[in-house]
Amino acid sequence: MPRTPIWSSIAAALKEEIAAGTYAQGAKLPTEAQLALRFGVNRHTVRRALGALAEAGLVQPRRGAGVFVTSVPTDYPLGRRVRFHQNVLANGRTPSRRMLRTETRPASADEAEALALPPSSLVHLIEGISLADGVPIGLFRSVLPAERFPNFPKDMTRLGSITAALADAGVADYTRALTRLTAKLANGVQAGHLRLPQGAPLLRSVTINVDAEGRPVEFGTSWFSGDRVTLTVVPE
């Protein structure tokens, strides 16, 4: 097995400390000299570790002032009712979503099965970027039955919220019926949208959400930045 580069181990240790609150958002990290002494390496190695944190959007160097924490991972609970806007607001941040793709087309076999639809039924496909304080934290893809929600693409564009768009369509509440979590590496397109280096760690969540009667209303896939989001499983 290849050895993990020491700069990568240093970056991982600092990431954990930022996530744990040792260094809060806006806080200044120790100097390169202090970190070099702490980890027993030269300043070049520390500089490379800090560069990796900067590429991930966690810190920002300021000339003559030091390196400061710009982003603390968003705590994202995975309970029966998962609402992007509520989760981000609960962290004291401002949520937003940027649409990348909206289309209506025949469902794939997997989509039809997940939504309990006849083969080739029409579905709406919505893709976009989820942001907290303007920083991209994940990508999302939502697939919904077009016959039941004919106006969903327009409502989603207008409201910017899946929950609000479903409420407009008469679904006042929905819950998570299934979740699958998988670790992935960002491809070039994902890395570009999330402002991450290619190959950065992602957490993929595949979900089926159902209404109060148990009918599937959404087949969703999200790719969260592993450095910017902490997924927490909340039993209910």
Q: With cut-offs at 50, 70 and 90, classify the pLDDT of residue 77.
A: low
Q: What residue has token string 């980890």? A: 39
pLDDT at 200 exceeding the cut of 90? no
Nearest to 113 by CA among 143, 139, 79: 143
Q: With cut-offs at 50, 70 and 90, classify the pLDDT of residue 236.
A: low
Q: Nearest 5°: CA angle at 135, between 186 and 81?
A: 80
Residue 232 carries which side chain, given as an amino acid letter?
Answer: T
Contact yes or no for 194/139 (Cβ under 8 A): yes
What length does the chain have?
A: 236
pLDDT at 189 exceeding the cut of 80? yes
In this prediction, residue 88 carries a pLDDT of 75
In this prediction, residue 26 carries a pLDDT of 82
In this prediction, residue 125 carries a pLDDT of 96
What DSSP line would sit under the chain, residue for residue? -PPPPHHHHHHHHHHHHHHHTSS-TTPBPPPHHHHHHHHT--HHHHHHHHHHHHHTTSEEEETTTEEEE---PEEEEESSS--HHHHHHHTT--EEEEEEEEEEEEPPHHHHHHTT--TT-EEEEEEEEEEETTEEEEEEEEEEETTT-TTHHHHHHHH--HHHHHHHTT----EEEEEEEEEEE--HHHHHHHT--TT-EEEEEEEEEE-TTS-EEEEEEEEEETTTEEEEE---
Mean pLDDT of the region 23-48: 92
In the CATH scheme, what is the code of domain 6-69?
A: 1.10.10.10
In the CATH scheme, what is the code of domain 74-233?
A: 3.40.1410.10
* Cβ neighbour number for residue 55 with a 10 Å cutoff: 15
Of the ranges 11-15, 104-108, 156-160, the best mean pLDDT one: 104-108
Q: With cut-offs at 50, 70 and 90, classify the pLDDT of residue 214.
A: very high
Where in the chain are the domains? 6-69, 74-233
Do 6-69 and 74-233 fold alike per CATH?
A: no
